[in-house]
Structure 1
Amino acid sequence: MCALQSDSNAPRVALFSLRGFEDHVSRSHGYEFEDVICDSLDDAVMFQPGVLPGGRPLMKAKRALSGRTHHAHRLPSGLETVAAGQDYDLFFYSVAHLEDLNFLSSLKGWRERSTQAICWIQELWLKRVDQIPALVDQLNAFDHVICSFVETAKMLRDRLDVPVTYIPWGVDMLRFCPCPNPPRRAIDMLSIGVAHPNTHEALIKFADETGQFYSYETISGRAIMKDFRAHRDNYIAQLKRARYFFSYIAKVERTVERGPQIEFGLRYLEGLAAGAIVLGNKIDSDAFREHIGWEDAVIDAPYDCPQIGDIISTLDEDPDRCAAIRARNVTECLTRHDHLHRWEKVLDLAGLSLHPKLAARRDALAERVKMVEAGLDA
């Protein structure tokens, strides 16, 4: 197991990361958050597990059993083990799925040596909660649980003995912000992930008729990153060069998985943060209105939208409105959706003071706001 440490001789925060072996693209934003915490927000040490020789079958077996039986935590994790080594004010673990809790046993003493422990759940659907009761119960080992799905957070409050807080994802605004050197928006329409066949066909036709560039997915299946930082850099570069970006309710096509639950995913914030005009679902929920409720944050466009070209053409006829939308999107994200704003909430839950690093990052974000106000399209 490898531990990466900040410049402090005695870090007050310990992070646990699966970046050493979990390389699906969906995890890249979580790893980004971990990097920003260590680099720009706090004095932290990051523990990264490595897989033992022959450990993969053990990992698979534990994953299969962990949701159904409380005895599965006694099974070996398949990872190298290490002791926490010192006392920490806060232990922080951001999990993509609850199955990630299986690997905590490889860090000996994480709970005993941490004054506060917080788990942030990136994705957990209501339908999944009753399928993995043993894993849900493991959350009681933490002092606080954060969930980025508002409806799931409500259910967990009734299921757990510890406080549960809803907090949406954040982004690294110092990377997403197009300033100080706004690139040319050479991608007219950018689609990441699934697209409705009718909307997709209409966009291809619209691009052919107008000479615009429509960039979209051409592969399917499990998407593995060669390097999560390179993947993130490439994705951000595309977003900063896109005029229009599409985002819909989370799991828009996977209706069996999400059931009637309506949540908004990170993709909204990523498009807004990069200054794209976001087309998609304006979600009817208090959480959506609270966090993405500013004017024209999302231009309503149904998932099945054969008339998508008409919506884009109408927007293109009003360049002043489009420029205002882009600037507003970036400014709102700079002032409320950076990882700094999320880490402040984590520290508040843990009862910890703000680290001096936060002041420097807050100043850097304020400088970006001034740049955007001076003219994002200059």
Structure 2
Amino acid sequence: MVTVGQLVRGSGGSVLQLSMRRVHDLVAFCLPYELEDVVAEVTGADRVEVANDRPLEFARRMYKLGRLATRSRRLARAMVPRLGATALTRDYDLFLPVFNNAYELFALHAVPDWRQRCRVAACFISEVWDYDIPEYLLELLADFDHIFLASYHPTQDVARIVGRPCTYLPLAVDVLRFAPYPSPPWRSIDVCNIGRRSPVTHAALLRLAREGRIFYYYDTVRASGEGGRQMTFSVGNASEHRLLLANLLKRSRYYVANRSRVNEPEIVGGKEEISSRFYEGVAAGAVLLGEPPGSDEFRRQFDWQDAVIRLSFDSPDAGEIMAAIDANPRRIERIRRDNVCSAALRHDWVHRLHALFDTLRIRPTEAMLAREERLRSLAALAREAPGDAAAPPPRSAAGDAPDVIGQRQHRGQPG
């Protein structure tokens, strides 16, 4: 019998995690794994990492077949082959598995005694859409005390299916990793545009890049999915990828941020969700350009001036829009300060974990409180920062670049 999971010891904390990081490695999944890392850092959590998902996937298919054929959860469970599961050797205050989507829920079989060993159980699911809810898998959450979704619209449907409380818990980011302070680097990338993108906007930015007027950073992987509307790839190490992204964004003047699945409105059906781009971009102090959700929830979370400057998804005039913003350096400096300050006070993963603990009536750890204090100090630093005065003047998307080499030499930097 093949063991499907491996227990990774933490630093003696009372939280138990379940992670899919070893077997599901798409780039979008790096964000939930970042949450796991922050939770482990501030709670000392142990983690069961699924190491072999083939037996789990076979068992899931058997369970689905049995559930559909017999309409009985009990009989469907009886059809599932035995799995080599991880045996827990101690009790925990909280079981907190993180799932990228609802189709991973069968991985709970990797820790069969989680309910007996954990006083409280809650799970976090990063992405769920109303049109794609696998009820036969959501039923597996019936023994949880609370379910948290990073998608706003499906919460009521999930609560109805599972019969347990379900709460919207927004995405966030490791702000301490993404923030440019205390030593902001030069923003040498004019615009960063990754993930789903408009071919119209992309062509406009490519033209400027070919003319040598901007440094444009974009994905070069082959588009995938129906109609080639997705830009995804596998990642070898999630933490290293998030570090790379943070360093790119700290060096980017503009970051294109659109609502989730912006190029699939026929699938979303008007139920717009907030993508991770917004949290990443504000934490890094970039100026955000794009189409945000038109929801009250988005306006509540990003309620400061110029949190996002509207850029239509299809924008052949993207260069002219950036040039108009470039003409007001004081506005840009204010945007950068406000973005980092707001992210540090509201949109770090520890803020989400604290909200989750409050809901479950669990006291925050000392490490959680210490991280929140570090974030408050970061926000104070952002308020007093001189903007990007230490960096060379930005290159205008509408004209020639200034003599950046000369600026470096003037500031005592090597040319």
Q: Is the 8 A contact 1:245 1:277 kept in 2?
A: yes
Distance in 2 (CA, whole Å) between partners of 1:151 and 1:323 is: 35
Distance of aligned partners of 1:286 and 1:48 in 2 relative to their CA distance in 1, 3 Å threshold = same
Q: Matched residue of 1:156: which SS?
A: helix
Consecutive unaligned residues in structure 1, runs of 5 or more: none
Residues 280 and 300, structure 1, Cα contact 8 Å, conserved in 2: yes
Does structure 1 retain, via aligned residues, the 8 Å contact 2:274–2:292?
no
1:52-91 map, 5 Å: 55=55, 58=58, 61=61, 65=65, 70=73, 73=77, 80-91=84-95
Inter-partner Cα distance in structure 2 for 1:79 and 1:182? 50
- Whole-Å separation in 2 of the counterparts to 1:215 and 1:173: 22
1:257 CA displacement: 3.6
1:125 alignment partner in structure 2: 129
Identical-pair percentage = 31
* Secondary structure of the corresponding residue to residue 94 of structure 2: strand
Scaled by the length of structure 1, the TM-score of the pair is 0.92
Secondary structure at the aligned position of 2:293 is classed as coil
Tell me what 1:166 maps to: 168
- Aligned match for 1:116, one of 120, 145, 156: 120
CA–CA distance in 2 between the matches of 1:153 and 1:368?
33
Listed one character per residue, the Cα deviations across residues 4-61 of structure 1 (whole Å, up to 9, x for unaligned) are 23322xx31111111121111111111111111111x213111112218x73762674
2 CA distance for matches of 1:76 and 1:328?
53
Aligned match for 1:361, one of 364, 368, 371: 371
Residues 65 and 334 of structure 1, relative CA distance in 2, 3 Å threshold: farther
Q: TM-score, normalised by structure 2?
A: 0.84
CA deviation map 1:185-214 (0-9, x unaligned) = 111011011221111111122334462111
Residue 323 of structure 1 deviates from its aligned partner by 0.9
Contact 2:188–2:252, Cα closer than 8 Å, also in 1: yes
1:99 aligns with 2:103: yes
Give the conservation status (yes or no) of the 8 Å contact 2:201–2:313: yes
Shift of residue 65, structure 1, vs aligned partner = 5.0
Is 2:354 the counterpart of 1:352?
no
8 Å CA contact 2:11–2:46 kept in 1: the answer is no
RMSD: 2.2
> How many Å apart are 1:218 and its aligned residue?
1.2
Is the aligned partner of 1:313 residue 2:333? no
Q: Say which SS state the counterpart of residue 193 (structure 1) adopts.
A: coil
Of residues 272, 277, 295, the one that matches 1:285 is: 295
- Structure 1 match to 2:37: 35
109-118 or 152-161: bigger deviation:
152-161
The residue that corresponds to 2:399 in the other structure is none
Shift of 1:299: 0.2
- Give ranges in structure 2 of 5+ residues lacking alignment: 225-231, 391-415
Give the number of the structure whose alpha-carbon radius of gyration is greater. Answer: 2
Q: For residue 20 of structure 1, what is the amino acid of its counterpart?
A: R
Aligned length: 372
The alignment partner of 2:114 has SS state of coil
